[in-house]
Structure 1
Amino acid sequence: DAEPLYIQALEMTKRLLGDEHPSVATSLNNLAALYDSQGRYSEAEPLYIQALTMRKHFLGDEHPSVATSLNNLAELYRSQGRYSDAEPLYIQSLDMIKRLLGDKHPAVATCLNNLALLYDSQGRYSEAEPLYIQALTM
């Protein structure tokens, strides 16, 4: 039921604001998240990449929305077991969020938790545990 609504929202956003607008990136990201949640990874990945590219173009390389897009793409790769693709994106997202929002921001805890989950998925428990604890403490 959700897919046609996300597609309609994307089309409407493009029609009303044009193809080159930050809101289009948000609509692309939302549709990608739906596909990701359904395990439709091959459909989600190009949308996440397009949203990331657009956000970098409109907002610059150093923006919280860019960090969110990096994290979303990393989550997709983790879901697929593409751990070596996911790890640098998680780290880049975490570093960016810390720089832009500060070490105490709730988004830092989310990034720490996601990176810990990646390490946990790989059996890298000694690396995951301190990140989980740090995220939980925050």
Structure 2
Amino acid sequence: MFSIVRFAFIIGVMLFTASYAASSKGLDTSWDMRYIDLSKAHREGRYDEAIQIADELIAVLKANSLLSSERMSSVMTKLGRIKSDQALYAEAHPHFIQALELSEKIFGVNSRDYEYSLMDVAGNHADQRQFEKAEEIYLQLLTLKEAKKDKQLSDIQVPLQALAHIYYEQGRLDDAERHILRALESSKADVMGVKFDGSAHAWQSLGAIDAARGKNKDAIAWHEKALKVLDKEFADSKKKWETAGNANYARLIACHERLAKLHGAIHNTKEAKKHEKRANQLKAEQPGEPMQLPEPWRQGVLPLR
């Protein structure tokens, strides 16, 4: 099943590989290892330490005349995300802008690296509720993706879903619905040889729109439809790998929690408790650290209001 969470992971791997396959002129592997330390500190929420490591890495790049390199772009992106995770969106903005400028200079505007940086800038505007600026960039991104001869269906899903979020946040429900329906058309996708079905994301988003319109029963129907897909994906994952991945758990838990909220809104206590119980069961059996779904414009599902 296509998921922005899983797709974002693939993107992250691609970016990491692209950055460090670049020339290592003036650097040894200690820089790469220190970058891994930066990523770990960020992932574990040790933000002050992560920023200190980033400053060290930048100093090394400066000493080696590599401030215009792919590595610098990677560090700027990381700093932007560290600030964003702390809701310091205004402080994150210049880091994302610098990463975007470097991506354009190094890879060009038709590269995926540039598109990923563009998404970061647009998401930053959305985080600051600067919706007009975010919309302009996402429309630019959609145009770039649609113009590609070798585009995949999954390519246009990200800007379509992001635009839907922006319209939804502004109460423009018809516009949000139109973009979700278009994303649904391209929900079955092949990303780097892996087949995904993003229907469950789109159906839950349509449910959120109906809930915002006061149509809670219709919203529940959309979510029940999505739950069948998520349950199947979860079972298939367990059958193949003996355990479901954290992304499978996170999506399934979120759907049950949404259904509990929707049933609670129409005072269907029995169903609400059933879904709460199932969500708690999944949380208890989930292996490892729970996966935190990213901010709305990157996870592919409109939030319930």
Instruction: Report the TM-score range of the alignment, normalised by the length of the smaller protein.
Output: 0.7 to 0.9
Q: Which has the higher Rg, Structure 1 or Structure 2?
A: 2
Q: Could you list the per-position Cα deviations for residues 26-56 of structure 1 after superposition, in whole angstroms to 9, with x for gaps in the alignment?
A: 2212211121122111111101111111111
Partner of 2:124: 34
Deviation at 1:125, TM superposition (A): 2.0
Matched, 1:72 2:162: yes
Counterparts in 2 of 1:48-67, with a 5 A limit?
Answer: 48-58=138-148, 63-67=153-157
Matched, 1:91 2:172: no
* TM-score of the pair, normalised by structure 1: 0.85
Partner of 2:115: 25
Partner of 1:119: 210
Runs ≥4 residues deviating over 6 A? none
Quick one: structure 1 residues 61 and 70, their matched pair in 2 at CA, closer, same or farther if it must change by over 3 Å? Answer: farther
Contact kept in structure 1, 2:109 and 2:115, CA below 8 Å: no
Quick one: structure 1 residues 106 and 2, their matched pair in 2 at CA, closer, same or farther if it must change by over 3 Å? Answer: farther
Deviation at 1:58, TM superposition (A): 2.0
Matched, 1:129 2:220: yes
Identity of aligned residues (%): 27
Contact kept in structure 2, 1:6 and 1:27, CA below 8 Å: yes
Quick one: structure 1 residues 62 and 126, their matched pair in 2 at CA, closer, same or farther if it must change by over 3 Å? Answer: farther
Deviates more, 1:56-65 or 1:33-42: 56-65
Quick one: structure 1 residues 9 and 59, their matched pair in 2 at CA, closer, same or farther if it must change by over 3 Å? Answer: farther
Q: What are the ranges of 5 or more consecutive residues in structure 2 without an aligned counterpart? A: 1-90, 231-305
Contact kept in structure 1, 2:100 and 2:114, CA below 8 Å: yes
RMSD of aligned Cα (Å): 2.0
Q: How many residues align?
A: 135
Whole-Å separation in 2 of the counterparts to 1:107 and 1:67:
9
Deviates more, 1:39-48 or 1:128-137: 128-137
* TM-score of the pair, normalised by structure 2: 0.41
Partner of 1:43: 133
Whole-Å separation in 1 of the counterparts to 2:170 and 2:155:
23
Whole-Å separation in 1 of the counterparts to 2:220 and 2:95:
40
Quick one: structure 1 residues 126 and 61, their matched pair in 2 at CA, closer, same or farther if it must change by over 3 Å? Answer: farther
Q: Could you list the per-position Cα deviations for residues 69-123 of structure 1 after superposition, in whole angstroms to 9, with x for gaps in the alignment?
A: 111111111111111111111011012113x35xx94632222222211111121
Contact kept in structure 2, 1:97 and 1:107, CA below 8 Å: yes
